Amino acid sequence: MPDDIEEDALAPVRRSSVLIVDDQAAVLQTLYQLFKDTYEVFVATSGAQALSRAKVNPPDLVLLDMVMPGMTGMEVCRQLKEDPETQNIPVIFLTGNCSVDDEARALDAGAADFISKPFNPRIVSVRVNTQLRLKAKSDLLRRIARTDALTGLGNRRHFNSTLFKEWRRCARNSLPISLVFIDVDFFKRFNDIYGHPMGDYCLSSVASAMKSRMWRPADLLARFGGEEFVCLLPETPLKGAIHKAQELEAAVRDLAISHEGSSVAPVVTISLGVAAALPAQGDDPETLIDAADRMLYESKAGGRGQVRSVEITSA
């Protein structure tokens, strides 16, 4: 952990959430009373209910009974760890079986800790707090790893992982998905005229202007590299993506950042290439990337400061 990251900065801005899973009402009540004033608490009385709630609203930690009717806690833990959406949630097992073998099996399944019943409320509280602080640190490091330092947008790595995830989701549900490739026009000339510090200011300002036009939580604006950006629009057909691209183009032009080296306008502008698809299972998202990149090339070849678009068919 870098020395310049203060401990207070690791604490989440919202209250941490804890999902308590146990088939015994007395245990649920005891743990709920223990944590309700400190954390946002959810409860489940079966493994299936726990998985459903964790999928819809992922908690920051799961307190999980190992032995339950039907689906065991071990199976719940296994499924949580196999799902990319929930695999980073720490799991603490609670169980009356306190053998070394049980503890080893729990840790091998991916559990972060193991507490034997009957439990001491103070010990449970301390261990839960420890795991939540560790998760806050891990979440912070993951955010840093997927964030572009200059603009604060997602970086290319984050875009790639999000694209593949959203592509598969849209393919499963027969939903459209669109992609916008964006390039700052004549950026090398801008750097040559105004210097690299102003170039950084330009990119940061362009990023902020475009981000202000992003409304939906599922949409992603990221820095692709250099002066290139990308906008991923799940559940969006071509018409909607074109409208969003036009909004982004206008937002950047309205910044009115002087650019004496541009052949498009006296201010900084962007060129945009839009591609939309209705993916099917087994289709390759690279086809969407290639199409958007091709449209960006056409936009630049056609005079820049404009939007070009295409709808691609299923591979």
Q: What is the pLDDT of residues 235-294, one digit of tens each?
A: 999 999 999 999 999 999 999 999 999 999 999 999 999 999 999 988 899 999 999 999
Q: What one-character-per-residue DSSP string does 131-155 give? A: HHHHHHHHHHHHHHHTB-TTT-SB-
- Please give the pLDDT value at position 5: 38
The two three-digit tokens of residue 62, written as one number: 């799961």
- Please give the pLDDT value at position 7: 39
Which pLDDT band holds residue 223 (cuts at 50, 70, 90)? Answer: very high
Between CA 148 and CA 27 the distance in angstroms is 45
Which of 10-24, 52-66, 176-190 bottoms out in mean pLDDT, i.e. has the lowest?
10-24
Q: Please check the confidence at residue 9 and state whether its pLDDT lies above 60.
A: no
For residues 9 and 290, the model is more confident at 290
- Which of 227, 247, 249, 260 is catalytic? The answer is 227
- Contacting residues for 229 by C-beta, under 8 A, at least 6 apart: 153, 181, 182, 183, 206, 207, 210, 221, 222, 223
For residues 63 and 96, the model is more confident at 63
Between CA 86 and CA 19 the distance in angstroms is 12
The two three-digit tokens of residue 259, written as one number: 């650019």
Q: Please check the confidence at residue 99 and state whether its pLDDT lies above 90.
A: no
State the pairing for strand pair 61-65/91-95.
parallel
Average pLDDT over residues 195-214: 97
- Please give the pLDDT value at position 314: 58
Between CA 144 and CA 258 the distance in angstroms is 32
Between CA 7 and CA 231 the distance in angstroms is 34
Kindly state the percentage of the chain with pLDDT values over 70. Answer: 94
- Contacting residues for 202 by C-beta, under 8 A, at least 6 apart: 184, 187, 190, 194, 257, 268
Report which of 61, 45, 78, 54 is spatially closest to residue 125, judged by C-alpha positions: 61
Mean pLDDT of the chain, nearest integer: 91
How many CB atoms are located within 10 Å of the residue 100 CB? Answer: 7
Interhelix angle for 187-194 vs 196-211, to 10°? 130
Between CA 166 and CA 289 the distance in angstroms is 13
- Please give the pLDDT value at position 281: 86
Which pLDDT band holds residue 98 (cuts at 50, 70, 90)? Answer: low
Q: Please check the confidence at residue 1 and state whether its pLDDT lies above 80.
A: no
Q: Which stretch of DSSP H or E encloses residue 52?
A: helix 47-56
**CA-derived radius of gyration, the chain:** 25
- Please give the pLDDT value at position 14: 64
Average pLDDT over residues 58-83: 92
The two three-digit tokens of residue 281, written as one number: 């299972």
pLDDT (tens digit per residue) in 120-161: 999 999 999 999 999 999 988 988 999 999 999 999 999 999
- Please give the pLDDT value at position 271: 98
Cβ distance 225 to 160 under 8 Å? no
Report which of 288, 306, 180 is spatially closest to residue 244, judged by C-alpha positions: 180
Specify whether 311 is catalytic.
no
Q: What is the pTM of this model?
A: 0.71
State the pairing for strand pair 228-234/177-184.
antiparallel
Residue type, 315: A
First vs last Cα of the chain: how many Å apart? Answer: 45
Q: What one-character-per-residue DSSP string does 175-190 give? A: --EEEEEEEETTHHHH
